[in-house]
Amino acid sequence: MSKRDDYIEKMKLQLDEVNTKMNKLEAKANLAKADAREKYAEEMGKLRQQSQLAVSKLEELKAAGEDSWDAMVAEMEKIRDAFVHSFKYFKSQL
């Protein structure tokens, strides 16, 4: 496996892990009181959008040529970091 393939696989595993945790957290949020549940559902929707953006960016990264690889890696890491940060913040609010 090349360094590039290793990186893509590592990033995919990280995103999958956060998505799995997010699904568990969503189940917990659904048990909250009705007013809190609405807020949690709204925030979960935002997290899902970030997740979709990260997965989409990962697909772009897979297709990136050597000339744009470094820029794509930097952008991917920013998107992943923002997604992870948002998830951790949401989790801390429950």
pLDDT by residue for the chain (94 residues), tens only, comes to: 788 999 999 999 999 999 999 998 888 877 777 778 888 888 899 999 999 999 999 999 999 888 999 999 999 999 999 999 999 998 887 7
Contact predicate 71/82, CB 8 Å: no
Contacts of 30 (CB under 8 A, 6+ apart): 37, 40
DSSP code, position 32: S
Indicate yes or no: pTM above 0.85.
Answer: no
**Could you give the angle at the alpha carbon of 33 between the alpha carbons of 27 and 34, nearest 5°?**
95
Q: Are 44 and 26 in contact (CB under 8 A)?
A: yes
